[in-house]
């Protein structure tokens, strides 16, 4: 192969690789999950979420994820949630994943919830053993941080494909918090639970629609 032909082949390869990178970045930035509205009406609404150990569906079947239930009772793969401003939000989270444990026990204490407590399977807690936590639900701008108790490793009938059903092993976590003025607030899980990524971060941990999202306060 001549030098000119080799140069042309290299240039074509670079151009193709650049096009793939641009396509990936544009797709990542432009694709957004649907907005899921809370049920009820101001001044008190309800959000229902679930966490799953693996989504079980394309495009990332092995990624850990949140899902939200819309006002029609359908589970939606989204973490973009809409709630009214200056209202009380009652949250129910069905936790289907096993415990990962908290690297920092600080996250084991509920913060920003009404009464400073959470309810786990019918029992009220003002702190959760960090070894029992699987994920967290945290809205830094509102000072909200809630640890989510994991399912026992040896629990029977564990869920592997989302959405999970209440007939499968889970814990139920409920709590309430208050919203303030309108705004777009980031919320996320602070447990590095993205297996297969360095230190558990990356992948679902930094992707809207998976383990972090937006709270649209309107």
Confidence band of 23 (pLDDT split at 50, 70, 90): very low
How far is Cα 204 from Cα 218, in angstroms, rounded to an integer?
Answer: 26
Determine the pLDDT at residue 99.
Answer: 92
Containing structural domain, residue 16: 1-31
Percent of the chain with pLDDT over 90: 73
Same domain? For 50 and 4 the reply is no
pLDDT at 103: 83
Residue 33 pLDDT class (50, 70, 90 cuts): very high
**pLDDT for residue 3 is more than 70:** no
For the chain, the average pLDDT equals 88
- 118 and 165 assigned to the same domain: yes
| Cis-peptide into 165, omega within 30 deg | no
What pTM value is reported for the model? 0.84
* Spatial strand order in the sheet of 212-217: 35-37, 80-83, 212-217, 183-188, 133-139, 144-149
Residue 9 pLDDT: 52
Same domain, 90 and 58: yes
**pLDDT at res. 193:** 75
Both tokens assigned to 52: 């799953």
Neighbours of 28 (CB within 10 A): 10
Give the burial string for 120-146 (b: 16+ CB within 10 Å, else e): beeeebeebebebbbbbbbbeebebbb
Residues 24 and 51 in one domain: no
Res 191 pLDDT > 80: yes
Alpha helices in 31-154 (DSSP H): none
**Local confidence band at 101 (pLDDT 50, 70, 90 cut-offs):** confident
Please determine, for residue 208, whether its predicted confidence score (pLDDT) is greater than 50: yes
Which CATH number is 129's domain given?
Answer: 2.60.40.420
DSSP state of 27: H
Do 69 and 166 reside in the same domain of the chain?
A: yes
Give the count of domains, the chain.
2
Q: What is the pLDDT of residues 129-180, one digit of tens each?
A: 999 999 999 999 999 999 999 999 999 999 989 999 999 999 999 999 999 9
**76 shares a domain with 7:** no
Based on the domain organization, do 7 and 104 belong to the same domain?
A: no
| Sign of the dihedral through C-alpha 47, 177, 40, 170 | positive
**Same domain for 56 and 19:** no
Question: Can you tell me whether residue 116 is helix, strand or coil?
Answer: helix
Question: Does residue 66 share a domain with residue 8?
Answer: no
pLDDT of residue 203: 87
CA neighbor of 190 nearest in space, from 157, 127, 144:
144
Find all residues with CB under 8 Å of 117, minimum gap 6, and list them.
110, 124, 125, 126, 175
Residues 24 and 47 in one domain: no
Q: What secondary structure letter does DSSP report for 73?
A: S
CA 192, chain centre distance (Å):
12
Task: Please tell me whether residues 114 and 44 are part of one structural domain.
Answer: yes
User: How far apart are alpha carbons 31 and 36 in whole angstroms?
Assistant: 16
pLDDT band at 31 (very low <50, low <70, confident <90, very high): low
Question: What pLDDT is stored for residue 1 in this prediction?
Answer: 60
123 pLDDT tier (thresholds 50, 70, 90): very high
Q: Which residue has the tokens 């394309």?
A: 58
Say whether both 74 and 176 belong to one domain.
Answer: yes
């Amino acid at each position: 192969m001549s030098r000119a032909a080799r140069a042309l082949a290299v240039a074509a390869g670079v151009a193709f690789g650049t096009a793939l990178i641009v396509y990936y970045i544009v797709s990542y930035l432009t694709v957004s999950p649907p907005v899921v509205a809370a049920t009820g009406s101001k001044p008190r609404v309800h959000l229902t979420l679930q966490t799953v150990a693996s989504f079980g569906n394309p495009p990332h079947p092995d990624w850990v994820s949140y899902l939200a239930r819309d006002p029609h009772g359908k589970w939606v793969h989204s973490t973009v949630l809409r709630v009214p401003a200056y209202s009380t939000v009652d949250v129910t989270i069905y936790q289907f994943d096993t415990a990962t444990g908290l690297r920092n026990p600080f996250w084991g204490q509920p913060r920003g919830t009404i009464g400073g407590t959470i309810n786990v399977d019918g029992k009220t807690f003002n702190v959760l053993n960090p070894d029992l936590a699987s994920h967290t639900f945290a809205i830094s701008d509102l000072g909200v941080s809630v640890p989510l108790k994991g399912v026992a490793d040896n629990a029977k009938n564990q869920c592997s494909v989302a959405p999970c059903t209440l007939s499968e092993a889970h814990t139920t976590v409920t709590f309430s918090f208050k919203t303030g003025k309108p705004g777009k607030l980031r919320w996320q899980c602070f447990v590095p639970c993205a297996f297969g990524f360095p230190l558990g971060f990356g992948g679902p941990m930094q992707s809207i629609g998976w383990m972090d999202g937006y709270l649209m306060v309107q």
